[in-house]
Each structure stands twice: as C-alpha cells, then as structure tokens.
A and B are shown apart, each in its own frame.
Chain A
Amino acid sequence: MTAALETTGLSKAFGDFLAVNEVAFAVQQGSRHALIGPNGAGKTTLVNLLTGVLPATAGTIRLDGEPVTALAPHIRVGKGIARTFQVNQLFPDLTPLETVSLAVSERRGGGSRWWQRLGRDAGIVEEATEILTRMRLADAMTTRTAVLPYGRQRLLEIAVALACRPRVLLLDEPAAGVPEEERHEILEIVASLPKDVTVLLIEHDMDLVFSFADRISVLVQGRLFAEGTPDEIARDARVRTVYLGEEAGG
C-alpha cells in the first residue's frame, strides 16, 4: 500500500551544516505517527522540507506516491498536505472567521474571486463556522486574532490547517507555549482528529506522544535514529540514553 507520506534520502544542508541527513521514512494512511527527538535534532526543519517552506538539498518527498519535492508550498497544500507551526503563524489583523473562511475558499477554488462580496457564499461560511465550532472557537469568531489568548490562537492554528481538508496533517508541537489550564483542550482536539486524516505529530510531551501515536520515529542530529511502535521505542535503551535528562515532558 502506498504510504500517505514518504521520504527517501531527504537532506538539507546550510553551508557545511547538515540539518537533515538522509532521512527516509514512511507514514501510512490514517496512522498517528509521532516524530520525537532532542532539541535541535532537525524536526522543524524536516517539517519545513515536507511542506516546501525550505527547498531540499537532496532526496525526494512523495505524497500518496506522487513526488512533490519540487513543488512550492501553496501547491503542496492543494495536493493535500497542511501544517501547524510551532510558534503561531496567524493573521493578526483578521478574525478567526475570516481566517478560516479564507482557507476554505482557497481550497474550494474561490480564492481569487475579486468581484464577489465576502460572505455571499453560504457554503464557505457554513463550513468555516462548523470548523470553528468544533475547535471551540465559536464565541471568538469575530474577534481580531491578535487579541485572542494564546491557547485559543493555538486552536485556531489547528482549525486553519483542518480547513484545508488535508490528507496529511503535520502538527508541530501543538501544545507548545500553551498554559497548563488550556493544554487539555488541545490534547482532546488532537485526539479526536478525523480518522481518515493521516497525522504526523512533532512533540516533546511524552505523555501525549505515547497516548496518541501508533508509530514513533526518533530524529537525532538530523538522522533517523530509531523507528517503531511506542512499545518498541519505550524499551529501546539507546533512545532512553538520548533522552537522558529530558524526561518529564521536556
């Protein structure tokens, strides 16, 4: 079966520094795949390569078997891959409703319509409202994003990605920076993501990783260090060594 997302020999070099080194892995359809590793291992760089934000120095990336290595980020979104950022990347001046409506209308092909009044297309508005309600943002729909508390912005970050109806969703530390009281909301949302969406989760929080993932890859210094089921990884002595001192959700 073709993997939903797979890479072969993927590398990224910044001058002499190899941030990602010959990474080859595959994420199966519908799976919940976690990518873990110490700080500076290259996890976010890898996500940036997968989404096209950074051009790869070498290697290939395939989405459902189709090569996307040379495609620009916005085209990859159209092919079915979406991501959230580790630090919120939202539109401060727009409201959540506008933000998600924008994502929906881009997906449905109406994004470049210059003659139509915003809000005229009920289908788009409905879908946006539905997504925002699911993300528990219904009451903040018409508030400027910039004034929303960070935790709710994080939810919006996920909402925007979902609005693209991706086949593969890359979540880059979704709970990062969220205050304790609001973390559980994020975790619940992540746990209840639709089963037909393949999820690649980057996380430091081991509780979240082990409760959520059905497969784990470990990235260390740009190289794929280990890969397997949560049990295999938990028992792997080398992985524990790498994480020595980084337990307790560090």
Chain B
Amino acid sequence: MPDTTQPLATASAPAHFLLGKSRWRPAEIVFWALALAAYFAFPRRHLLLNEIAILGLFALSLDLILGYTGIVSLGHAAFFGAGAYAAGLFAKHVFGEPVTGLVFSIGISAILGFLSSFLVLRGTDLTRLMVTLGVALVLYELANRLDWITGGSDGMLGVKIDPILGFFPFTFRGSTAYLYSLTVLFLAFLLARRVVHSPFGLSLRAVKDNRLRASSIGIAPARRIVAIYTLAAAYAGAAGALATQTTQFVSLETLDFTHSADALLVLVIGGAGYLYGGLLGAIVFKLLKDALSVASPAYWLFWMGLFLVVLVLIGRERLTGGGRALLDAVVARMPGRRR
C-alpha cells in the first residue's frame, strides 16, 4: 500500500481537526512539570506522592477499559494484586532488582488479563460486572488460602528490594520511590496516549458507543477488547509491582473489592475517557482520604459512599466525556489555539 502519510504543513483542514486531538496541550506540559516539581516542593511528602502516582497508574489502567471501551469492571484490583504479589515473590525468591521485577510483574498480569479478557466478551453489563467481580474474588481467595506462598492475611514479609538498576537505592523518605513511580507512570502514560489517539483507539470508542455499528463497519470487537484489556491489566499489574517495591510489603488489601471500588471512585472524581481523569482524581482522592481517615476507616467509607450517591443523583456527565469537553472548552480559550 502506498505511503499516504504527509507532512503536517500541507494537511487539509479535516486532517488538522483529527491531528489536533493528539497534539500536546500546554496544560498537559504544565501538569507533568508540576508533577516533577512536587518532588522538590514537598520533600517531606514523597511517600504520599508515591502513593498518588501508583493510584494514578491504577486508575489510568481502569480508564482504558472503562472510559474508552465501556467495560464496567468491579474487579480490576485482580490485576493490581497479581502484579503486586508477582513482584513480591520475584524479589523474595529470584532477584531483588526492581526494574526486572517490574517487567516480570507486567508479564504476569498481562497474561492474566489476556486470559480473563475472554470472560468479558460475552453477556450483558451485569454478567460482566459479576465475572470481573468473580475473578477478583477467586484471586483473593487463592492468595488467602495459599498462605505459605503469599503470607495470607498477614501479608508477605521479607521482601527486600535492591537499588534500581543497581544504582539508585530506595530510601526511607520515599524519594527514590516517587521518582521511580513517576517515571513508570509517565512512560505508561505516553504509550496510552499514543494508543488512544490512534485508529485503534478510535475503534475502541466506537465499540463503546455502539458495538453493533462497530461490527457493521468491519471491526472485530472481540479482538480489540482482548487487546486493550490485556494492556490495561499490564498497567494495573505495573502499579501493583510499584506498590510492592516501594513499600517492601504486599497484603490481601491489594485484591480487595474496596480497592477496585477505589479506582472506580477515582475515575468518578476525575472523569473518565480523557486519560487525565485517573491522575487528577487520584490526587484529590488521596488527599481527601488522608484528611478524612483520621477519625476511623468507617468515616472515610461514609463520605465516599455519600459522594457517589450525590454525584450520581446529580448527573455523572463527567464519566461520558464531560471532563474532556471541559478540557476542550478551557483549551479553546487559550491564545494561539486554532479551532
């Protein structure tokens, strides 16, 4: 097939419209600059920043299947936990270097994601809810029962992590941790951004909007869903691995239903379908949770529940791309932007 890609300068107006969607906005650059600046601005809060980055990656992975492909999952923590435990076991029994452990965990959770993707292909929304919930529960039970491997409800102890690539040791303050997590998050984000603004990404949105129509223009929904589900699982697994490696501990909480609900809630706060929702939501979520959990865990649960109820009653436009519309509206007002 002849190469019909062309230099941007001579692209037509419609092509510009399409290309414009993937152009880097100034706001994005500001966001990442601030993320890096936070390292210097809050030297005593690196542990918290690290947690935010990890949660952001987890929520980003859920956004890929929920915001872009329309798959409602109540068990996404399954992949986070799988990655977390894989990283723990790898460090304990094979090799303590984190980057290799990260690659290993991504592989494990990707395989798990691939296998379970076939379960979400068929059935209704309700079936999918239950199947995803079921998979997470199966893994939770497995981790619980195989306690001689996983440490069961006590969690996995004795995870010792070596310096990153042999050079950068982890410190108590979490400084290395945050930079490590931020780097992984950023790289993952870049890839996700590429995928989402590609013909493949567009086909995912089509499958989400109208699966019948998508198959009527030649898209094989199954294959696309399997692909994105696997990628999302890999991302979630990466987040889990980061969590294990930066805290040197894994527990059953990583597989808990409330952990899956956390990711969902983060996307509700930040908006789904435009990639930044998971990141922004993670910041708000973590800060709020820190503030509200002071009294007791029940206190946080109450407010989280109330927030969900109120938000849904009012109208959850943000989850259908309203966040994106807001972003577009803000961007359109910036100087130098062409419509």
Number of A interface residues at 8 Å Cβ cutoff, please give it. Answer: 53
Residue picked from A85, A92, A113, A119, most chain B C-beta under 10 Å: A119
Q: Which residues 78-116 of B sit at the A interface, judged by CB distance below 8 A?
A: none
Is residue A250 contacting chain B, with contact meaning CB distance below 8 A? Answer: no
Is residue B247 contacting chain A, with contact meaning CB distance below 8 A? Answer: no
Is residue B198 contacting chain A, with contact meaning CB distance below 8 A? Answer: yes
Distance between Cα atoms of A90 and B209 in the complex (Å): 8
A98's partner among B2, B202, B223 (CB-CB below 8 A) is B202
Distance between Cα atoms of A51 and B213 in the complex (Å): 12
Number of B interface residues at 8 Å Cβ cutoff, please give it. Answer: 44
B11 touches A119 (CB 8 A): yes
Q: Which residues 135-152 of A sit at the B interface, judged by CB distance below 8 A?
A: 141-142
Residue of A nearest to B20 (CB): A119
Is residue A46 contacting chain B, with contact meaning CB distance below 8 A? Answer: no
Is residue A108 contacting chain B, with contact meaning CB distance below 8 A? Answer: yes
Contact with A along B215-236 (1 / 0, CB 8 A): 1111111011001000000000
Is residue A65 contacting chain B, with contact meaning CB distance below 8 A? Answer: no
User: Which residues on B sit within 8 Å (CB–CB) of A91?
Assistant: 205-206, 209-210, 213-214
Is residue B320 contacting chain A, with contact meaning CB distance below 8 A? Answer: yes
Question: Chain B interface mostly helix, strand, loop or mixed?
Answer: helix
Distance between Cα atoms of A63 and B203 in the complex (Å): 26
User: Which residues on B sit within 8 Å (CB–CB) of A95?
Assistant: 17
Distance between Cα atoms of A124 and B15 in the complex (Å): 9
Interface 9-residue window, one of A34-42, A69-77, A213-221: A69-77
Is residue A53 contacting chain B, with contact meaning CB distance below 8 A? Answer: yes
User: Which residues on A sit within 8 Å (CB–CB) of B20?
Assistant: 119
Contact with B along A198-223 (1 / 0, CB 8 A): 00000000000000000000000000
A103 touches B19 (CB 8 A): no
Is residue B195 contacting chain A, with contact meaning CB distance below 8 A? Answer: yes
Q: Which residues 32-83 of A sit at the B interface, judged by CB distance below 8 A?
A: 51, 53, 72-75, 77-78, 82-83
User: Which residues on A sit within 8 Å (CB–CB) of B18?
Assistant: 97-98, 101, 118-119, 125
Is residue A11 contacting chain B, with contact meaning CB distance below 8 A? Answer: no
Assuming the A-B contacts A93-B320, A119-B17, A128-B14, are A73 and B198 also in contact, with contact meaning beta carbons closer than 8 angstroms in the complex? no
B202 touches A118 (CB 8 A): yes
Question: Separation in Å of the B177 CB from the closest CB of chain A?
Answer: 30
Is residue A121 contacting chain B, with contact meaning CB distance below 8 A? Answer: yes
Q: Which 8 A-B pairs have the closest CB atoms?
A: A119-B18, A123-B4, A119-B19, A114-B200, A77-B218, A91-B209, A106-B218, A103-B217
| 7 additional A-B residue pairs with CB within 8 Å, beyond A107-B218, A126-B12 | A82-B216, A106-B217, A108-B1, A114-B198, A118-B22, A118-B197, A118-B202
A-B contact pairs, 13 of them (CB 8 A): A72-B215, A74-B219, A83-B216, A94-B205, A113-B200, A116-B198, A118-B199, A119-B16, A120-B15, A122-B6, A124-B4, A163-B217, A164-B218
